[in-house]
Structure 1
Amino acid sequence: MSSSRSPNVHGRRARFLAAGGLVLAVVAELASAGLFGLSGWFISACAVAGAATFSSFSYIAPSGGVRAFAMARVAGNYSKRLVLHAAALRRVATARAGLFDRAAATDRAQVDGLWSGELLDRSMADADSAGMALIECTTPVAVTAALTAGAVLAVAASTSFAPAAVLAAGVVLMAVTAHRTPGTAREAEQHTRKALRAELVTAVDAWTELASLGAAEQLAARTTTRFTRLDTAREAAGQHRHRTTLTTGLIGTAALTATAATGSAPDAATFVFVALLSLGVLAQAEQLANAAEARATAKAAHRRLTTSVSLTASDTTVPEMRSWSTEQGIGFADYLLPPMALRPGRVLGVTVARGATLVVTGRSGSGKSTLLRALASSLRQATEGRDGRPAVVAVAADDYLFSGTLGSNWRLADAALTDDEIDERLAELWLNDSGLAARTSVGPGGRQLSGGELRRVYLGRALARHPHVLIVDEPTTGLDDRTARHVLGILKNLPDTTVVISLHDVPACLESAGHVTQLPLDHRGP
């Protein structure tokens, strides 16, 4: 019973933290505005009293008020940071947990290609955007609303309704403007900067390839163009900020004009109080533009996180087949070659004993990768892992490495692996000859490794899972003949694992493999 209530309990705690953080933020900003306005009034009143010959002005009460506002501002700002960030981090954690829950609940037939590394990185950024909306969007809106209400009441009480109405109308105008144009200029600037940064990082990482292509001049021209676009975007963003500042000044001037034009003209200290209080409210209202942009970003992120539609451009559907996995081995039947194969329409089926190797061979375009993807998907649906081992692990031709070290990538397969154990397995795959170790950085997407090294790193990570069925697409890509024979020898000698691999040609070391399935090579008869 307690476990079933825990999500609701955590949800209530998160909402309580968020509400408490908003209250503290409002208190802190009200104290800041009050300190700003009261300090100005106090200084002006003291100056007027000092200029008078006989003055009964008492500084005790205003002085105490200034100190009280100052203490409330310091305590409120400190407390709101603690509480709001705690609440925001809870929201980020909830969004990330929901992301992985969605991945776990996804139809296994759609897993291949759906949760790619690139998509996972973007989804993590979306989870951060959705969680941080509490600080970047909700808090500025709540603070502006509360501060405006308090300031309008204070101005109306100290002068008249006219300047208070002008101030309220000005804040509403700024809010409407921010809502209709949610930071478009700043968003364009950020987008341009992001594109420039991505291109520079990629160019530095791939400089050897670019130099060999003779693409230095073209790259310099592209980069210059992007810098020009960034300057243009910055200029547009600056103009937008200038317009916002001008609007703020006009509204403040209108409020002060209304204050001076009231029937009973206020004294100098009250006039300064209204001016400073209005300035503080309008300065806070300027944050609504950033809040509107954060709201648009968070809504888009939430939509991407909760949508049930595949987020990849590629078609993740795979042909259907009937498959089975037992203690004796695996098999499949009724597999109809898809339209993209060179001989579509043919039905395949085979049985492979436990610990044996199935080699799927054929020229490019014959349907090898599609067959392996369909088999992996079908076996995942039909079987479950035994003895804590996964039922199926598949290594695609375009697998993915996350930025970090070899060790951090391999520990995704087995979190208990130590650096020494990883180094031993790297040596088994002859990767130590290249100087690779557990602490070796792989770079973005593994770009610091060669193609042959990447294939062996992918394979080693899959072997760390010790699956019942291992499916590998083109395990010898980028390898010399000697290394390829060594890798195929490792795959051939896995007594507890049934191995399915695809190759263009069957080497001599696999001619004695348990099964070899030759896919049709042309459109001629069987």
Structure 2
Amino acid sequence: MSNFIRLIKLCRPHYKAMLLGTLLATITVLANVGLLAISGWFLASMAAAGIAGVQMNYFTPAGTIRFLAIVRTASRYAERLVTHNATFLLLSEIRVNMYATLSKLNNVDLAMSRSADLLNRLQNDVDALDKFYLNVLMPMMVALLSVPIILLFMSAYNANVALICFMGILLIGVVIPALLSASLTKNSHKETHLSAQLRAELSDTLTGLRELSIYQARTQQLNKCDRLNEQYNEQLFVRHKALANADGLTLLIVQMAMLASIVTIAPLVYTNSMVNVELAMLTLFVLASFESVLLLPNAFIELPNVLKAAERLFTLQDKASDQSNNCSALIDTQFDKNNIALTLNNISYKYDEHNALNNVSFMLKSRQKVAIVGRSGSGKTTLVNLLTGLWPLQQGSITLGDHNNAQDLHSLSSDSRANVINILAQQHHIFDGTLSENLRYAKPNATKEEMLEAINLAQLEPWFNELQEGLKTRLGTGGRSVSQGQSRRIAIAQALLQNPAILVLDEPTEGLDNQSKQTVMNAIMHVMSDASVLTITHDPALLAQMDNIIWLENGKLVAQGSHKKLSEKHQEYVSLTTRF
């Protein structure tokens, strides 16, 4: 029920359009009921007048029928227009909220979630909510508005017929939907879970098609997808079977209500307590009245699926909200970039039962150059993620600032931390935009002169001079129009624009050819001249320029010192840094 209420709250920005659509749908139902009832009375009256050989005024009922037909057509068209527009507005609202939610999640939650599952929540779960207003909420509201009006008019003619109609409406609109909702709740959970799992497996299959082909595992993976698809179709069959049974039972109840109405009215006509033409009118009145609740069984069949999809979305939203509340307590602090130090004290970090870091301590002084070396799995990347605040701290402390003004790194706001620390990752993302737009991500108010200076210092000038459109050159999706070395130097230009006090480099020359490596090295030297640098690298040329080397193995600090000192004392260190 809480998820249902939260969905109602999501409708608040567009409640006027939704209420208007509900009103138009109610008018359509009432017009259709009135049209069928008056048509039955009119045809029966004309037949009775013809048999009796008397005249009757057919202009008024004919005009009324024509008016109701026009109202029904116009209101139906307007209702479709308004309700579908409201649905699209609601979906856009939900999608924007979901993107905002994902942007608030910390990197741990994003890293530990399957990208296919997040995509499924953004696409499939959000699309499932497009049924909430049209197929769930609006039928309920239309029934609440139209049923009392219909029963009020019907009771004016015959209370017993109104009671029969009410019982039929109660069965179709309440009893059947309640039974369906209770029986399909468990099924909806399985259906939503299997749908998400199937989409994730299909996404993984397409992403890893090359590897599946190499290892001849494509058939095995496709069989797995087929099994999931069969299980998903079984759950769909259960829901569709329930809908078919509900439709059949609804039709039976409608026919039984009509028959009971005829049985109730016929003696009254026989005893002249009721005009004979009213038998046809009330019978058709009863038949048409069920239109107000015919969509309720389907609404309650869709409701569990909608609520399960909403639950998956709200789970992310609650997690992001908790993190936002924690972030609101963070501190905004200004630091002196010319005199700032980074201190790590007894840092430990675990992945499940694996110790990625174990009591690691060292200090990065102002404008000092420190490198981290170690084999794969020694904890280098984990340490960098902790330093940049991308991962939460489990044990130990990381402080930023001088001795007189030291602040815990993880107590600082993201803005304060970003003003001090910049990370140059091994895989740098280039956005689909112009060169100037990508540079301004680092400094939104950067002038043209500042960007050109950063391009020059990042050793991009020869490539930039060949661009016909200069800073307006589009770099393509994912930077497809630039090489890996150029992408790395664009990242360096961004770092130069931000002018951080501490620059974290993750394998800055890894995967580059010798010429690109040397160019990137020269660009890094410009950045290093005015900043404290912490880099993960095994490049001897870069290690030789470091003030201190932190050597990690299995999450532990083995030794630290200059590159020359470690090379003289530890043969294993020499093998580690000259493996190429």
Per the normalisation by structure 1, the TM-score is: 0.72
Distance of aligned partners of 1:454 and 1:304 in 2 relative to their CA distance in 1, 3 Å threshold: farther
Note the C-alpha offset of 1:338.
2.2
Aligned to 1:146: 145
More displaced, 180-189 or 37-46? 180-189
Q: Does 1:276 align with 2:288?
A: yes
Note the C-alpha offset of 1:36.
2.4
Distance of aligned partners of 1:80 and 1:273 in 2 relative to their CA distance in 1, 3 Å threshold: same
Q: Note the 1:58-69 alignment, pairs <5 A.
A: 58=58, 59-69=62-72
Q: Does 1:502 align with 2:498?
A: no
Residue 37 of structure 2 is aligned with which of 37, 41, 44? 41
Note the C-alpha offset of 1:406.
9.6
Cα-to-partner distance string for 1:344-382 (whole Å, 9 max, x where unaligned):
3453223141xx532112233433223323322355557
Aligned to 1:156: 155
Distance of aligned partners of 1:200 and 1:441 in 2 relative to their CA distance in 1, 3 Å threshold: farther
Letter in structure 2 aligned against 1:66: A
Letter in structure 2 aligned against 1:47: L
Aligned to 1:515: 548
Distance of aligned partners of 1:113 and 1:163 in 2 relative to their CA distance in 1, 3 Å threshold: same
Distance of aligned partners of 1:196 and 1:277 in 2 relative to their CA distance in 1, 3 Å threshold: same
Q: Following the alignment from structure 1 to structure 2, what is the Cα–Cα distance between the partners of residues 454 and 296?
A: 46
Distance of aligned partners of 1:439 and 1:232 in 2 relative to their CA distance in 1, 3 Å threshold: farther
Aligned residues: 481
Distance of aligned partners of 1:365 and 1:82 in 2 relative to their CA distance in 1, 3 Å threshold: closer
Q: Following the alignment from structure 2 to structure 1, what is the Cα–Cα distance between the partners of residues 297 and 228?
A: 33
Q: Note the 1:302-317 alignment, pairs <5 A.
A: 302-307=314-319
8 Å CA contact retained: 1:166, 1:254: no
Q: Following the alignment from structure 1 to structure 2, what is the Cα–Cα distance between the partners of residues 121 and 81?
A: 24
Cα-to-partner distance string for 1:378-414 (whole Å, 9 max, x where unaligned):
55557789999832233567x7969978989887656
Q: Does 1:247 align with 2:264?
A: no
Aligned residue for 2:341, secondary structure, equals strand
Distance of aligned partners of 1:430 and 1:187 in 2 relative to their CA distance in 1, 3 Å threshold: farther
Q: Does 1:344 align with 2:358?
A: yes
Cα-to-partner distance string for 1:229-281 (whole Å, 9 max, x where unaligned):
34433433321221221232233233223322325365123212321221452
Q: Following the alignment from structure 2 to structure 1, what is the Cα–Cα distance between the partners of residues 238 and 526?
A: 64
Distance of aligned partners of 1:48 and 1:385 in 2 relative to their CA distance in 1, 3 Å threshold: closer
8 Å CA contact retained: 2:135, 2:299: no
Aligned residue for 1:286, secondary structure, equals helix
Larger Rg: 2
Q: Following the alignment from structure 1 to structure 2, what is the Cα–Cα distance between the partners of residues 183 and 292?
A: 5
Note the C-alpha offset of 1:174.
2.9
Give percent identity, aligned residues only: 15
Letter in structure 1 aligned against 2:166: A
Give me the CA root mean square deviation: 5.0
8 Å CA contact retained: 1:451, 1:478: no
Q: Note the 1:86-485 alignment, pairs <5 A.
A: 86=89, 89=92, 111-114=106-109, 118=115, 137-159=136-158, 160-170=161-171, 171-181=173-183, 185=187, 188-189=190-191, 191-263=193-265, 264=268, 267-307=279-319, 326-338=336-348, 344-345=358-359, 347-353=361-367, 357-377=369-389, 378=398, 379=400, 381=410, 390-395=419-424, 428=460, 438=474, 440-442=476-478, 456=488, 459=491, 463=495, 466-468=498-500, 469-480=502-513, 483-485=516-518
Note the C-alpha offset of 1:337.
4.3
8 Å CA contact retained: 1:92, 1:128: no
8 Å CA contact retained: 1:189, 1:237: no
- Structure 1 stretches of 5 or more lacking a match? 1-11, 104-110, 312-322
Distance of aligned partners of 1:296 and 1:99 in 2 relative to their CA distance in 1, 3 Å threshold: same
Cα-to-partner distance string for 1:421-446 (whole Å, 9 max, x where unaligned):
99x899949999xxxx945444xxx9
Distance of aligned partners of 1:153 and 1:473 in 2 relative to their CA distance in 1, 3 Å threshold: farther
